[in-house]
Amino acid sequence: MTDAQPKIWVINGPNLNLLGQREPHIYGHQTLKDIETGLMDQGQGLGLRVECFHNNHEGGLIDLIHSAPAAGVKWIIINAGAYTHTSIALRDALAGVALPYIEVHLSNVHAREAFRHQSYLSEKAAGIIVGLGSEGYRLALEYISRKR
Ligand code: DQA
- Plot region of 28 (φ>0 → left; ψ -120 to 50 → alpha; else → beta): left
Helix (H, G, I), strand (E, B) or coil at 78: strand
Atom of ligand 1 nearest to the CA of 108: 11
User: pLDDT digits over 35-49, tens only?
Assistant: 999 999 999 999 999
* Ligand 1 residue neighbourhood (C-beta within 6 Å): 15, 79, 81-82, 84, 105-107, 109, 116
Of 2-6, 7-11, 43-47, 110-114, minimum mean pLDDT range: 2-6
- Measure the CA–CA gap between 128 and 143, rounded to whole angstroms: 11
Active site residue 101: no
Q: Is 26 helix (H, G, I), strand (E, B) or coil?
A: helix
Dihedral sign for Cα 130, 23, 138, 11, please. positive
- If phi > 0 it is left, if psi is from -120 to 50 it is alpha, else beta; for residue 79 that is beta
Would the pTM of this model clear 0.85, i.e. be above it? yes
The neighbour count for residue 73, using CB atoms within 10 Å, is 20
Known catalytic residue: 120? no
The number of CA neighbours under 13 Å toward the Cβ of 81 is 18
- Per-residue pLDDT tens over the stretch 37-88: 999 999 999 999 999 999 999 999 999 999 999 999 999 999 999 999 999 9
